[in-house]
Amino acid sequence: MNKVIRLIFILLLAFGGKEILAQEAAGKTEKVEIQTSAICGMCKDRLEKNMAFEKGVKSVSLDEETKIITIEFRTRKNDKEKLKKAITKVGYDADDLPADKKAYDRLPACCQKGNDPH
Ligand SMILES: [Cu+2]
């Protein structure tokens, strides 16, 4: 390979070219915002950790002020309804979906909704 071309290629990789290639190979991603019933920092950790393991999820972040969880995922592997369902399985409401009763009962008392933020 020509040295100049090789150098340009290496520079491209260094400046994010690699990520663009990887993203294209993996398909499109989408970002969704879902209102949850999280209460405290423990809820935030719990939701972020659990949702990070859902199929196709690339990033998760819950806003402690608004309780809105932002999830970036690969559209080929998951969809918003499934992600909402997964949130309810952790024990929290997701938009219009109520929390799964069993999962909710397993939450520490301080994390069950109806409690004041702590
Ligand atoms: Cu909590």
For the chain, the average pLDDT equals 89
Q: Per residue, what are the HEC states of the chain?
A: CCHHHHHHHHHHHHHHHHHHHHHHHHCCEEEEEEEECCCCHHHHHHHHHHHHCCCCEEEEEECCCCCEEEEEEECCCCCHHHHHHHHHHHCCCECCECCCHHHHHHCCHHHCECECCC
The pLDDT assigned to 29 comes to 95
Neighbours of ion ligand 1 (CB under 5 A): 39-40, 42-43, 111
More confident residue, 96 or 22: 96
The pLDDT assigned to 9 comes to 74
- 107: CA distance to ligand 1 center in Å? 8
In CATH, what class is 28-111? Answer: alpha beta
- 24: CA distance to ligand 1 center in Å? 37
Q: What is the mean pLDDT of residues 31-38?
A: 97
Say yes or no to pLDDT of 51 above 70: yes
- 39: CA distance to ligand 1 center in Å? 5
Distance CA(60)–CA(18), nearest Å, equals 22
Indicate the range of 3-7, 28-32, 35-39, 96-100 predicted with least confidence: 3-7
Half-sphere exposure in the Cβ direction for 103 (13 Å, CA)? 16
Task: Tell me the per-residue pLDDT of 64-113, one tens digit each, with 9 for 90 and over.
Answer: 999 999 999 999 999 999 999 999 999 999 999 999 999 999 999 999 98
The pLDDT assigned to 15 comes to 72
Task: Spell out the domain ranges in the chain.
Answer: 28-111
Six-digit token pair at 30? 């989408």
Say yes or no to pLDDT of 2 above 70: yes
